[in-house]
A = this chain, B = another copy of it.
Amino acid sequence: MKIPEPTIERLPVYYQCLYRLKENNVVIVSSEEISSRVGVKASQFRKDLSYFGEFGIQGLGYPVTHLMERIASIMQFDTEHKVAICGAGHLGYALARFPGFAKWGFKISHVFDKDPAIIGKKIGDVVVEDINLLPYDLKVPMGILTVPASVAKETASLLIKSEVNAILNFTGVKLDIPESVVVRNVDISHELAVLNFHLMGKPQ
């Protein structure tokens, strides 16, 4: 069964909501409560979960810890996934230092850059490596692309030759990649554009 992309995108949102509920010692939660917290209709929440099985207890709600564990298992938050960052500029540096990844199972294992001034330096507990060492079999499934747009395509190609199968692309450049590689483009301009669209029509 093909799971709709928006459903997949909402699972981390539900997980984060459950995580906060658990921190606040909530044991059982209704779909309506989750709905109001994450801004998704309760019926949509129930439909999203239905792709993965039965989770709720009739007339009672969802056991917070159990549902968290199930989503963690579906999304593999309970396994470590190594991630290589290409481009240790400000954005790459910020991501390499980001404290929130561990909770989701992500571990920055490599940081690459071409600048001799930072190669060999440590970011957190990762030593910046020379990007010219690529390609080699990194044994890392995911890469984050934070290089300048001018070298985006060639760097993506290096990652793919290094057996990286998924790329989070911050460069704003459309990558030409083989079908076997998964890409997600993060474009902050688009986020601002959507935000601005919602501002229109609001009283200023």
- Cα of A100 to Cα of B188 in the assembled complex, Å: 9
A179 — nearest CB in chain B belongs to which residue?
B202
Residue pair B8, A6 in contact (C-beta under 8 Å): no
A141 touching B196 in the complex, CB below 8 Å, given contacts A12-B189, A100-B172, A189-B104: yes
A residues 178-201 near B (Cβ < 8 Å) are 180, 182, 184, 186-200
Least Cβ–Cβ distance between A156 and chain B, in angstroms: 14
In the complex, what's the smallest C-beta–C-beta distance from A12 to chain B, in angstroms? 4
Copies in the assembly, this chain: 2
Chain B contacts of A166 at CB under 8 A? Answer: 195-196, 198-199
Contacts of A198 in B (CB 8 A): 8, 166, 182
CA distance in complex: A8, B196 (Å): 11
Of A58-66, A89-97, A110-118, A126-134, the one touching chain B: A89-97
Contact of A192 among B142, B172, B192 (CB under 8 A): B142
Question: Among B83, B100, B199, which residue has its beta carbon within 8 angstroms of that of A141?
Answer: B199
- A contacts, CB < 8 Å to B: 6, 8-9, 11-13, 16, 20, 37, 74-77, 81, 83, 89-91, 93-95, 97-98, 100-101, 103-106, 141-142, 144, 165-168, 172, 174, 180, 182, 184, 186-200, 202-204
Query: What are 20 contact pairs spanning A and B, CB under 8 A?
Result: A8-B194, A11-B193, A12-B189, A12-B194, A16-B187, A83-B192, A90-B93, A91-B94, A100-B172, A101-B192, A106-B189, A106-B192, A141-B196, A142-B192, A142-B195, A165-B202, A166-B198, A168-B192, A182-B195, A186-B188
